[in-house]
Amino acid sequence: MAIATEPLPSPGWGLESIASLLEAFPRGQLSEIVGPRSAGGSSLLTALLARATAAGDLVALVDGPDTFDPAGAAAAGAELRSLCWVRGRGGRLDAACHAAELLARCGGFAWVALDLAADLTSPARTAPTFAPATWIRLQRAVRDTPTRLIVHASRHLAGSAAALVLAVERGPARWMGSPRPRRLDGLGSRVRVLRARPPAPTAGESGTEWKLAWRL
């Protein structure tokens, strides 16, 4: 049985664009959000959690490096009572992958997010290596379930197992006050489709990107 894939929304800007972009993640498939440090990938993931939990969905977040900030998610509108937070204390990312596989296979969660961002203080934010079978296992675990499985990492990891890969690129940081900054106001991000299966109507067009704005 072919699993229907939601068409990607048209490129846009701002909050409307975030809302429509979040609807593009396909059910029963593995998707990826990739991007370097301070590009806005975590903000996009938090927006996803906020939107899903506020709609009453159960969400599981497997927080591999244990860096999730519940207070920030609540500020973004997340209903924390609908969030199952799995903390990856000790930095065992293989255990995080296993936990995400179990949660995805159960089919009880509308969203399962697996955060695999590497050590934030590493000089170049390099992602750890995983066995290729890891992604096949995750993809098979979520297949035929109503769950959306999202992997967040600094680079594309899942290869052909991912049905949708969104690359988040760093935009300019916005500071208030001139000439000396008084306050960090927010950050801009650009989101591009690295991979979409089947190709989304907007995915093949060159130069298409979504411009998102995150406020502190």
Question: Restricting to residues 9-28, which ones interact with another protein according to CB under 8 A?
Answer: 14-15, 18-19
Binding to another protein (CB under 8 A): which residues in 71-90? 71-77, 79-89
Q: How many CB atoms lie within 10 A of CB 131?
A: 10
**Positive or negative: CA dihedral 109, 189, 87, 118:** positive
The residue among 136 and 173 lying less far from another protein, judged by its C-beta, is 173
Determine if 3 is a binding residue for another protein (CB under 8 A).
no
DSSP-derived 3-state class of residue 175: strand
User: Which one, 14 or 201, has the nearer CB to another protein?
Assistant: 14
Residue from 130, 186, 192, 211 that binds another protein (CB under 8 A)? 186
- Residue 131 interacting with another protein (CB under 8 A): no
Do 89 and 114 touch, CB atoms closer than 8 A?
A: no
**C-alpha angle with apex 156: 154 to 161, nearest 5 degrees?**
140
| Contact flag: residue 7 with another protein (CB under 8 A) | no
> Where does residue 170 rank: exposed (0-12), middle (13-18), buried (19+ CB within 10 A)?
middle
Q: Smallest gap, in angstroms, from Cβ of residue 167 to another protein?
A: 14
User: Could you say which residues in the range 151-180 bind another protein, by CB under 8 A?
Assistant: 170, 173, 175, 177
Binding status of residue 91 toward another protein by CB under 8 A: no
Q: Which is nearer to another protein, 39 or 203 (CB)?
A: 39
Cβ atoms of 152 and 20 closer than 8 Å: no
The CA distance from 163 to 112, in Å, is 15
Assess 204 for contact with another protein (CB under 8 A). no
Question: Which residue in 7, 12, 98, 197 binds another protein (CB under 8 A)?
Answer: 98
